[in-house]
Chains A and B, each alone.
Chain A
Amino acid sequence: MSALDTTDRAIVAATQGGLPLVPRPYHAVAAALGLDGEDVMARMRRMQAIGIIRRIAAVPNHYRLGYVANGMSVWDVPDDRIYRLGPLVGALDCVTHCYRRPRQPPVWPYNLFAMVHGRDRAAVEEGVARIAALLGPELRGHEVLYSSRILKKTGFRLGS
């Protein structure tokens, strides 16, 4: 983890709600914070280079784009093979997040999580079938958990 100084944190706090939609957005952030535009851009480039900023991008509401179905597919694969298999699953178009997480024996044997999105349930099931085919003989078990209700959804507010 790379430390952020107080100026970096001020930039994070000023932009985590969004980047200004004006012709010189980084200079607008700088002006609001009493900083120099070049300094803000240099700091944000550094944060992007070290992975604190993944990218500066549009985050679609996938429901509004028609991707109304999603399933959390969970897989039990050998720990010594997951490093090779995880990136293959993550690279599939239908998979939007792919993580290794700790098993919870005895209730939860799964160590690979892949969120599958689709325009309908059938598309999600097709994606799950593609993952199963990809994992092949390495696969020891899997399930798909569909969300039945959103109980809470608020934005992240971090880093300030």
Chain B
Amino acid sequence: MLDALDRRIVTLLQDGLPICEHPYRDIAAELGTTEADLLARLAGLVESGVLSRFGPMYHAERMGGGLTLCALAAPEARFDEIAVLVNAHPEVAHNYARGHTLNMWFVVATETPQKAQAVIAAIAAETGLTVHDMPKLDEYFIGLRFAA
């Protein structure tokens, strides 16, 4: 279970760690604890899976990568077979079944935008289905902050 300080750590550190020689010492002082305690708690939060990760959040497109959201309408009888074909591509990072005519939604992440197009074309050819490519055209907010 998370105690009150764990929750404050999760909440505070979603806003970011400074880039300086002793960043954890500075954050620990803000939280009223020691650097050693903060480091031990962070390691525990990562190990127990409360945090998926701790570190730099990189912006894939600005690094030159390709990242796009795709959807397709898989016929119910072929749904599992199509999921296998889609998931077989290592560039497919996430894939969710969703309740809609477009019932399979997946993210394609590649080193370049051109490679993403090649993966999409391959999935279309393998499944015989139209793959709807819906890259983000604008980003209004990436909060991704949760009160702990």
The answer to whether B120 has its CB under 8 Å from any CB of chain A is no
Q: Indicate whether A159 sits within 8 Å of B144 (C-beta atoms), given known contacts A55-B16, A149-B97.
A: no
Q: Is B4 an interface residue (CB 8 A)?
A: no
Please measure, in the bound complex, the distance between the C-alpha atom of A88 and the C-alpha atom of B52, giving whole angstroms: 28
Q: Is A21 an interface residue (CB 8 A)?
A: yes
The answer to whether B39 touches A158, judged by C-beta atoms less than 8 angstroms apart, is no
Q: Which residues of A contact B46 (CB under 8 A)?
A: 18, 21
Q: Are B58 and A12 in contact (CB under 8 A)?
A: yes
Asked if residues B140 and A19 are in contact (CB atoms below 8 Å), the reply is no
When distances are taken between beta carbons in the complex, the residues of chain A under 8 Å from B104 are 151
Which residues of B have CB within 8 Å of A15?
55-56
**Residues in chain A near residue B60, CB distance under 8 A:** 156, 158-159
A60 & B51 in contact (Cβ 8 Å cutoff): yes
Shortest distance from the beta carbon of A66 to any chain B beta carbon, whole Å? 9
Contact of B140 among A22, A48, A98 (CB under 8 A): A98
| Docked-complex contact A159 and B58, CB < 8 angstroms | yes
1/0 per residue A1-44: CB within 8 Å of B? 11110000000100111110111111100000000010001001
Q: Report yes or no: A99 in contact with B136, Cβ–Cβ below 8 A.
A: yes
Chain A contact surface mostly:
mixed
Decide yes or no: A55 and B106 within 8 Å by CB, A61-B49, A159-B65 being known contacts: no
B98 touches A148 (CB 8 A): yes
> How far in angstroms is the closest Cβ of chain A from B64?
6
Nearest residue (CB) in B for A11 is B56
Contact A148 B99 (CB under 8 A): yes
B10 at the interface (CB under 8 A from A): yes
Cα(A65)–Cα(B25), bound, Å? 26
Which of B14, B42, B45, B55 has the most A CB atoms < 10 Å from its CB? B55
Q: Report which residue of B39, B92, B96, B106 has the largest number of chain A beta carbons within 10 angstroms of its beta carbon.
A: B96
| 3 residue pairs, one from A and one from B, having the closest CB atoms | A90-B141, A90-B140, A19-B55
Which residues of A pack against B, CB within 8 Å? 1-4, 12, 15-19, 21-27, 37, 41, 44-45, 47-48, 50-62, 64-65, 67, 72, 82-83, 86-87, 89-91, 93, 95-102, 104, 107-108, 113, 117, 143, 145-159
